[in-house]
């Protein structure tokens, strides 16, 4: 952080975002100790979830040879365009890689629920044909089950297929 400050280095990462809070007058600003603590929590907390995603991603790529071939072509093309260097920008340019990771996260979500806090009264339709509408009021929590949403045939024609 000190070297970035001294040499005016900016990077598109979490540390940069925390450093930028020091330059703003809104909200809490992170000092160096808080940034180090946040970075530790970020990396330690993400280890298990990232290893799970990598496991499922490797499984799906291995069991779907067409996906594997298309992904390999994209990787080879991007590396060729970047002198064999997998830069941050090069990796972010991989559209098919992004789609494969997104599909993996759809089938194997990292978290079981998405939770939101209601800020405006809202009426949900009745959960059953003979039921009453459900009113959600400001301040109430709404929990959405990822697995059910991500495998709903209403939104995904083949909900259990990696495609």
Q: What are the tens digits of pLDDT across the range 41-64? A: 777 666 667 788 899 999 999 999
Q: Is the pLDDT of residue 156 over 70?
A: yes
pLDDT tier at 18 (50, 70, 90 boundaries)?
A: confident
Q: Which two tokens stand for residue 29?
A: 């600003």
- Is residue 118 classed as helix, strand or coil in its secondary structure? coil
**82-115, pLDDT tens digit by residue?**
999 888 889 999 999 999 999 999 999 988 899 9
Higher per-residue pLDDT: 38 or 113: 113
The domain limits of the chain are: 31-109, 111-162
């Amino acid at each position: 952080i000190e070297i970035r400050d001294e040499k005016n280095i900016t990077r598109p990462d979490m540390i940069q975002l925390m450093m930028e809070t020091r330059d703003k007058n809104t909200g809490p600003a992170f000092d160096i100790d808080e940034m180090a603590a946040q970075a530790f929590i970020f990396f330690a907390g993400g280890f298990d979830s990232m290893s799970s995603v990598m496991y499922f991603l490797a499984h799906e790529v291995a069991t779907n040879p067409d996906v594997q071939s298309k992904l390999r072509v994209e990787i080879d093309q991007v590396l060729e365009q970047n002198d064999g260097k997998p830069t941050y920008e090069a990796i972010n340019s991989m559209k098919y890689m992004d789609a494969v990771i997104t599909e993996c996260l759809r089938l194997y979500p990292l978290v079981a629920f998405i939770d939101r806090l209601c800020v405006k009264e809202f009426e949900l339709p009745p959960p059953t044909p003979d039921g009453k509408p459900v009113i959600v009021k400001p301040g109430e929590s709404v929990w959405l089950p990822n697995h059910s949403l991500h495998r709903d045939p209403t939104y995904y024609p083949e909900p259990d297929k990696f495609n």
